[in-house]
A and B are shown apart, each in its own frame.
Chain A
Amino acid sequence: MALAGLLLAAGCAGPPRGEVTVLAAASLAEAFAGLGATLSFAGSQQIVAQVEAGAPVDVVATADVESMARLVRAGLVDEPVEFARNRLAIAVEPGNPRRIAGLGDLARDGLRVVLADPSVPAGRYAREVLDRAGVRVRPVSLELDVKAVARTVAGGEADAGIVYATDVGPPARVDIPDAANVVASYPVAVVRSAANRPAARAFVDRLLGPAGRQALSEHGFVLP
C-alpha cells in the first residue's frame, strides 16, 4: 500500500507541486483567485514591508515597478517580469447618479471623493493624473489600499473615487482618457527565500501562460 502510494507520487512528478504562497497587490485579488495558490493581498508598499520583514511567501506581485525595485535592490527577489498593465478610472455609484463625466468633476463642491493614500501606488498614480489635469480635489479620506476606495464608493459612503479600471465594473466606472491616464505596470517575482522554488516558478509560468493571460484580460487588465 505504502509502495503504491510512493509510486503514485513518483508518477506525478511532472509539474512541481506543493503549496505556493503568493503575496499580491490588492488590485489583483479577483484576477488571481483561480490560479491555484494560497493568496494574500495588501497595498504594494505593505507587501514590500512584509517581505523585508521576512514574511514566508514564495511569489510577490506588486502594482508598480518602484515597490518591486526596492525588493530587487535589497536582494530579496529574483529578476521580476512584467505580467500586466492597468489604468486608472473613476469609481462612481452604479448608474452614476452624480453625473460625473471626468476628472474635472471631482473638484465639484459637495462631492464626497475618496482617494488611496499616496503611500500606495494607486494613490500616487491618482495624485499624478489629478496634478497633470490641474484638478484640485479635497478628498474626505485617503484610504490605506485601493480596494477600500472601491468599497467606500460602492457602499455609498462616498460619491466618487479614483481606482484601477479593473476594480469596478462598467456601470460604476467612468473611464479616464488615455492621454490623461497613467499606465500602471505589474511585475511579478519569485522570492529568494521561497520554501518551494520550483512550485513558485511554476506559478509564475502559469501567470505568464494562457491561464494567467486569460484571467487577467477577463478582469480588465491590459497584457504587455
Chain B
Amino acid sequence: MLLPLLGLLQQAPWSTIGSELTSPEARDALRLSLVCSLGALAVALVFGVPLAWVLARATFPGRSLLRALVILPMVLPPVVGGVGLLSVFGRRGLLGSHIGSWPGFPLPFTTAGVILAQAFVAMPFLVVATEAGLRQLDRRYEEAAATLGARPWHRFRTVTLPLIGPSLAAGAALCWARALGEFGATVTFAGSLPGRTRTLPTAIYAGLQGRPEGAVALSIVLLAVALAVLVALRGRWLGVP
C-alpha cells in the first residue's frame, strides 16, 4: 500500500519543485482546483445538509431508496457519472436541450461544469457523515430548546449545528478532498482546458504525457493534501483518540 507513495516521493523533483509548482500551467491548475473544490463543497453544503436532515429525521416510504441513491456516486465509476451528467446537462441532454441558451449554459466545458461534476461525486461523503452525526445526537437537547420556545431554525442553528459540528466538519473535509481529486467525471463532463476546466488531476494526467516532472510535483501536492485531511480526521476515522 505504501510503495506507490514512496515511489512518488522518490521520483519527486525536489530541487526544482518550487519552480515546477509556480509554472503558469501548475498555477492555473492549482488556482482552478482550489476554486472548484471549494465551490463543490459549497454546493454540497447547501444541498447535502438538508438532505442529511431528511434522511436522519423524516420517515417516509422510500427513504432507504433515497439514501441508496444519494450514496450511489460514491461507488459509481466517476466516468459513468460524467456520462450521466452529459445526458442531463449536455447540449442534447434532458435539461440541457431546453436550458442550453440560458446565460452560463450549456455547462460542459465551463468552470461551473467542473464544480457540478465534483459536487456530484463528492457530496455523498458530506451527507453520510452529517446524517451519522444527526443520528448520534441526543435529541433531548433539541426538545429542551423547543420547550424553552426556540423556533425550529433558531434551534437548528444554536443547538443542533454546534452538536453535529465535528461530524459536519469531518464530512466537509472528506467532501472537499474528494472534490479536489476528482478526475473521471470532470474530464468526461467538462473537458480539459487550461485555466478553465483543467484541474490538478487532469493537469497531472496531461503532464505525464509531456512533462512528467511537473506532473509528479502536482501529485505531491495532492498527496500532501490527502495526508493533511487524514491527519486532521484521525480521531474520527482511524480510531485514535
Contacts and interface: CB of A to CB of B under 8 A. Distances in A.
Interface string B81-96: 0000010001110000
What's the interface size class on B, roughly? 20 to 34
A71 interface: no
B194 interface: yes
B209 interface: yes
A155 B202 CA distance: 21
Contact of B192 (A43, A45, A143, A155): A143
B92 A156 contact: yes
B209 A46 contact: yes
Interface in A103-136: 112, 114, 117-120
B191 interface: yes
Interface string A38-62: 0000010110010000000000000
B109 A157 contact: yes
Contacts of A139: 193
Contacts, number: 58
Contacts of B91: 156-157
Contact of B210 (A45, A112, A152, A157): A45
Contacts of A117: 192, 206, 209
B94 to A, nearest CB: 13
B181 to A, nearest CB: 17
A119 B210 contact: yes
A142 B86 CA distance: 18
A185 interface: no
A155 B92 contact: yes
B212 A49 contact: yes
A212 to B, nearest CB: 27
A29 interface: no
Contact of A140 (B90, B193, B206): B193
Contacts of A43: 209
Given A45-B209, A157-B91, A157-B109, A144 B202 contact: yes
What's the interface size class on A, roughly? 20 to 34
B193 to A, nearest CB: 5
Nearest to A43: B209
Given A45-B210, A49-B208, A120-B209, A155 B90 contact: yes
Nearest to A141: B191
B187 interface: yes
B12 to A, nearest CB: 16
Contacts of A152: 191
Interface string B204-220: 01111110100000000
A49 B90 CA distance: 33
Interface of B: 86, 90-92, 106, 108-109, 187, 190-194, 197-198, 202, 205-210, 212
User: Which 4 pairs show the lowest CB-CB distances between chains A and B?
Assistant: A141-B191, A45-B209, A119-B210, A140-B109
